[in-house]
Amino acid sequence: MLKIYNSLSKEKETFSPIRPGHVGMYVCGPTVYSNLHLGNLRTFMSFDMIFRYLLHLGYKVRYVRNITDVGHLVGDIDDGEDKIAKKARLEQLEPMEVVQRYTVDLHDILNRFNLLPPSIEPTATGHIIEQINVIQKIIDNGYAYESNGSVYFDLAKYNQDYEYGVLSHRKLEDMVGNSRKLSGQSDKHNEHDFAMWKRANSKQLMRWPSPWGDGFPGWHTECTTMSTKYLGEKFDIHGGGMDLKFPHHECEIAQGVAYTGNAPVNYWIHANLLTLNGKKMAKSSGNNILPGEILSGASPFLSKAYSSSVIRFLMMQTHYRSIMDFSDDAIFAADKGYNRLMKSVETLQKLEAGGMSTLDILPWRNNCYEAMNDDFNTPILISQLFEAVNFINLLKNKSASLIATDLDLFTRLMSGFVYDVLGLGKTSEINEGHNEKLDGTINLLIEMRNSARADHNYVVSDQIRDGLEMLGIQLNDAKEGTTFSY
């Protein structure tokens, strides 16, 4: 029986979906204003593993992961500039050019790291009318108010009728006591009320007409709107990174309750952060590695390039609820472990059945399922897979044997856990074959560029560098030589 740690109760609970055999799962997707870093990838990979395991168990899963293309403001506060609008302003692009560029990058990276596509990938800008309808209903229900062209959620009113803070276990009274007072100019009645709709100023490019004037929707509102649209007013699983628990998910719960009168989600799952040198990996701080840099090795934090499966293997060695610190040593060790496991899986596929079974596969199978059913414990599953490597060695050197049906079961279980649940090998191997060729071609061009520079033929050397850049491949010249990233 599958048990899931629910952030709401802070306990592992037996999973019981609303509709037997079906699972509705919503995960907050990225804000597409910059490249995905390895921390973001870890969160999406954790939910990919959960999606894969639910499918493996035979559930029919509708997995919705949104794309935030408006409404997420700098600093996660109501008065900041929209992250996408800011990027567009700095780069003199249309906001939708920013969105397009980073959505393409997102899909490319997630595909290269073998994440399954979600069932639905809705965008905030594609659901403006639905968001306006949700906001209007919440105003009608008495839990939001219009003020100077913006609409705010009325937390004080909500907290009178329900309880705010059930997920993060914070009390509104304490928050109010600890916060700065409202400045005279604020449109809000209370400091902690949050924006569901913001009035657009005259320079704002991203704006839509609404009953309250031209404006744009708030970040929390898009997730409430798109999750209920595709999964219903109450659904099974809602996930995201740990840092979204408060205020984003707390506000989603309040909106859901204010909208329908009931809590919107049964199981809240939060994936923990990836740190680099002990500090949170973040887009803004420079303390990050891009997934593409893992594949090319072009990062000061790495001594060489690694395949996408090795990073998957490394990430699956840590439980999704634990903080994971990335280091060059850790990925180096994971590379060795991964190769040992995959060689063994290949060997298993070539083994021949014996006349009798001297190994009992069933207790091992139970251990694997017990690990995964215990809140998706992939590190324990991996230790069981290495137990299987020992079995395979015994079978290979004829110290043990399995009859055909047992060998077939063993092979299917190994493939199921390694390829389908953990998402290692297979598809990504194909991708990596393609990358190897591309990487070889780029290295050849770098050599040609070096020769051209040695001959003072800067027209050709610049042509190579600029041509590669047009294709999204950056060359980085350093004392030790030229590296590349894409």
Q: Which residues bind ligand AMP (CB under 6 A)?
A: 28, 30-31, 39-40, 42-43, 240-241, 243-244, 273-274, 280-282
Q: Which listed option, Zn ion, ligand AMP, none, makes contact with residue 39 (CB within 5 to 8 Å by class)?
A: ligand AMP
Q: Which listed option, ligand AMP, Zn ion, none, makes contact with residue 31 (CB within 5 to 8 Å by class)?
A: ligand AMP
Cβ burial 134-164 (10 Å sphere, 16+ → b, else e): bbbebbebebbbbbebbbbbbbebbbeeeeb
Q: What is the DSSP letter of 315?
A: H
Least spacing, CB of residue 240 vs ligand AMP, in Å: 4
Least spacing, CB of residue 30 vs ligand AMP, in Å: 4
Q: Which listed option, Zn ion, ligand AMP, none, makes contact with residue 223 (CB within 5 to 8 Å by class)?
A: Zn ion
C-alpha–C-alpha distance, residues 271 and 310, integer Å: 20
Six-digit token pair at 374? 């215990």
Q: What is the DSSP letter of 249?
A: I
Least spacing, CB of residue 265 vs Zn ion, in Å: 11
Write phi, then psi, for 65 (nearest 5 degrees).
-130, 115
**Nearest residue to ligand AMP, by Cβ distance, number only:** 241
Is residue 216 within 8 Å of 206, Cβ to Cβ?
yes
Is residue 80 within 8 Å of 73, Cβ to Cβ?
yes
**What one-letter code names the amino acid at 369?**
Y
Least spacing, CB of residue 29 vs ligand AMP, in Å: 7
Question: Which stretches of the chain bind Zn ion, using CB under 5 A?
Answer: 28, 223
CA dihedral for 347, 418, 22, 375, sign (positive or negative): positive
C-alpha–C-alpha distance, residues 287 and 451, integer Å: 35
C-alpha–C-alpha distance, residues 347 and 318, integer Å: 26
Six-digit token pair at 224? 């409430």
Q: Which CB, 264 or 292, lies closer to Zn ion? A: 264
C-alpha–C-alpha distance, residues 401 and 354, integer Å: 5
Q: Which CB, 243 or 328, lies closer to ligand AMP? A: 243
**Secondary structure (3-state) at 352:** coil
Q: Which CB, 223 or 385, lies closer to Zn ion? A: 223
Least spacing, CB of residue 244 vs Zn ion, in Å: 6
Least spacing, CB of residue 285 vs ligand AMP, in Å: 10
Q: Which listed option, ligand AMP, Zn ion, none, makes contact with residue 400 (CB within 5 to 8 Å by class)?
A: none
End-to-end, the C-alpha distance of the chain in Å comes to: 43
Q: Which listed option, ligand AMP, Zn ion, none, makes contact with residue 215 (CB within 5 to 8 Å by class)?
A: none
Q: Which CB, 139 or 311, lies closer to ligand AMP? A: 311
Q: Which CB, 146 or 293, lies closer to ligand AMP? A: 293
Q: Which CB, 224 or 296, lies closer to Zn ion? A: 224
Q: Which CB, 267 or 306, lies closer to Zn ion? A: 267
Residue with tokens 């700098």: 74
Least spacing, CB of residue 378 vs Zn ion, in Å: 24
C-alpha–C-alpha distance, residues 402 and 380, integer Å: 25
Q: Which CB, 63 or 313, lies closer to Zn ion? A: 63
Q: Which listed option, Zn ion, ligand AMP, none, makes contact with residue 42 (CB within 5 to 8 Å by class)?
A: ligand AMP
Q: Which listed option, ligand AMP, Zn ion, none, makes contact with residue 385 (CB within 5 to 8 Å by class)?
A: none
